Amino acid sequence: MKRKTLISMSLFAMLFSSAGSVHAADKTTKYRVYQDQQVLMETASYAEAEAYARWFADSRVEEIGSRKWLWHNYPKYRVYQNGASLPQWKFASLEAAVAEASKWGHASVRDMESGGWVWNNYPKYRLYQGEITLDAWAFPTLEAAVAEARRWGNAHIIDLSTHGWVWDNIPAGRKAELRQGPKLYQLYQGSYTSEAWTFASLEDAVNASLYWSNSEVRRTDSGKVVHSNVKPYKVYQFDKEIGSFLGLEQAIAYAQAYDHTRITERPEGSSTARTIWNNYPYYQVYQNNQWIADFQTIGGALAYASRYSSASIRLYDDGSVIWDNLKDLQFWGWNGSSSDTTIRSHVSGTQGLDVVSPTYFQLQDTSGGLADTSNAATVAWLKEQGYSVHPLVANQFDSKLTTGFLASAEARAKFIDALVSRAVKLGVDGLNIDFESVSGSDRAAFTKFMEELTAKAHEQKLTISVDLPRGSAKWNAKTAFDHEKLAGIVDYVITMTYDQHWKGSTEPGSVAGLPWIEEGIREFLAYGIPRDKLIIGIPFYVREWKIDAAGKLESNRALLMKDLPALIESKKAVRTYDARFGQDKVEYTENGARYVFWMEDESTVKARIDLAKKYDLAGVAAWRLGYDPSSLWSMMLQQK
């Protein structure tokens, strides 16, 4: 298995695609593949999602919308050595975990869905030759220790659970000789000792030490500790010490009687302790950065964490996050259509799309009539796929009509009542207000209208967003849109950061240069619009400019992003980077005229998403769906 390595999506699609074509609706993504918190792909096919997920460790398949886990390969067992683990020491089966752990000394295996160990090879006996021992002279059984000890003369074995002298091959005559020699060993309990606690025989000193807790045997000539009964294992519940033990088995038996315990070991000669055992539930639930609960299983942690906002599930060992419901960057998309077929086609090619905005409603007349082209079946289908639906509400882009409508309280009430009533009946999640070409003299009236509409919509738990032109702070006070007041009313403000150069421009240029967009973001934030309410519009189109032989601008036309690669290839166009706009400038000649446009592709869309992240905005909104190549969404998904 691979970690943090993405397989080419196009290659994978080839591997798992079925013969023949499928209906467009079947391409709507229903499943999302994750590796921990990294989104890897979305697909309409569960089989494809699971097959792709199997290429990665620590991966899962979620049902989009419900976020239910349908499959995962998180390991059940983990190997540790002296309490530390490695990323590759995670296994699905106990047999595989034990096979790896057996290669190492002081190793253990934990079942991550239960506390403590299910296997370990921590030594129970240690071999000495006099005062000398080796790292390799630690054994899990007395038999193994004796087998090694027989290879050496004057050897002895200490039981690590009691620190008692349990075996030796020192001849009786040699023992008697040692006892007649100089008294080399002194017994201490802390700083206390006694004249009676001096010994010529190490065996006698060790046996005497067993009567005194936390005692040590030291050489009289150097002060070197040659045997210690200081309890190396301490048991903690949370951060409070509740016991200390000479042997590991006793410490474990005691710790298992309590929850949230851990055992630390201080190796001989070391001044620091390390945690080697714990029964903390492996899956920790946090809200923001506050611990709130823990669970032995992923399922239990998920069920609990899903009840809270801003929740995450973290692993006990290293605190790494494997799941959260923190706010991701939102992706909105306008359809520019009310057609059921068109809308289904638009969303079928997307990945990571959150909000769909069909063009359903329009101001019909100054009396507040509502033109309604909505389709309940389309809305129901979109919601089944996991999308939020926020239909666009327009004003025919008619200044005179809008002025007459806004001036009448009766007309506003009529329109709002009809609009909200229909939205509730359709079951949509919100409404996107796109009133354009509004007269500057209607500034206060438009704000009043948005206030009335939002209040009515919020009663029905509908979200309200408003589309505002990029504009400029220089003349903002003279426009129809009071940004600061509107931001305090609505749920989201979508800035239409495109048409920097538009159909009526007198000179060629990008529809949305990156510096211009960034300046617009800063201006909108300067109006006091909260970052989590601000969404920036991104264009899925460009404007191509035709310039005659004399250098005069002759005409322009809009081109769709998805059509640009073929156009560039067919015209043998030349691309050069233009620092003014932060985009590639594309040029070609034909029939004596020069054609130029500024490129929109994955790199420019990513640059706009990066700006949304840089300023911690709520998301991005695309004008419009259907203009985009489906390959674009794989990149977008990975940027959420």
Instruction: Give the tens place of pLDDT for each residue, 40-59.
Output: 998 889 999 999 999 999 99
Q: Is 229 left (phi over 0), alpha (psi -120 to 50) or beta?
A: alpha
The model's confidence at residue 140, banded by pLDDT at 50, 70 and 90, is very high
Mean pLDDT, residues 432-449 taken together: 98
How far is Cα 167 from Cα 157, in angstroms, rounded to an integer?
A: 5
* CATH 3.20.20.80 location in the chain: 330-638
CB-neighbour burial class of residue 171 (10 A; exposed 0-12, middle 13-18, buried 19+): exposed
Mean pLDDT, residues 404-415 taken together: 99
Q: What are phi and psi of 421, to 5 degrees?
A: -60, -45
624 preceded by a cis bond (ω within 30 of 0):
yes
The model's confidence at residue 8, banded by pLDDT at 50, 70 and 90, is very low
Over pLDDT 70: what percentage of the chain? 95
Mean pLDDT, residues 428-434 taken together: 99
> What does the pLDDT read at residue 328?
82
What type of residue sits at position 600? E
- Whether residue 587 has pLDDT greater than 70: yes
How far is Cα 257 from Cα 324, in angstroms, rounded to an integer?
A: 32
> What does the pLDDT read at residue 284?
98
pLDDT in tens, 218-256: 999 999 999 999 999 999 999 999 999 999 999 999 999
- CA-based max dimension of the chain: 119
For the full predicted model, state whether its pTM sits above 0.75. no
> What does the pLDDT read at residue 28?
66
> What does the pLDDT read at residue 396?
98
- The residues pairing with 179 across neighbouring beta strands, listed in sequence order, are none
How far is Cα 62 from Cα 325, in angstroms, rounded to an integer?
A: 13
> What does the pLDDT read at residue 27?
63
Average pLDDT, the chain: 93
CB atoms within 10 A of CB 319: 10
Over pLDDT 90: what percentage of the chain? 87
The model's confidence at residue 618, banded by pLDDT at 50, 70 and 90, is very high
The model's confidence at residue 22, banded by pLDDT at 50, 70 and 90, is very low
Mean pLDDT, residues 544-551 taken together: 97
- Whether residue 194 has pLDDT greater than 80: yes
Classify domain 330-638 at the CATH class level. Answer: alpha beta
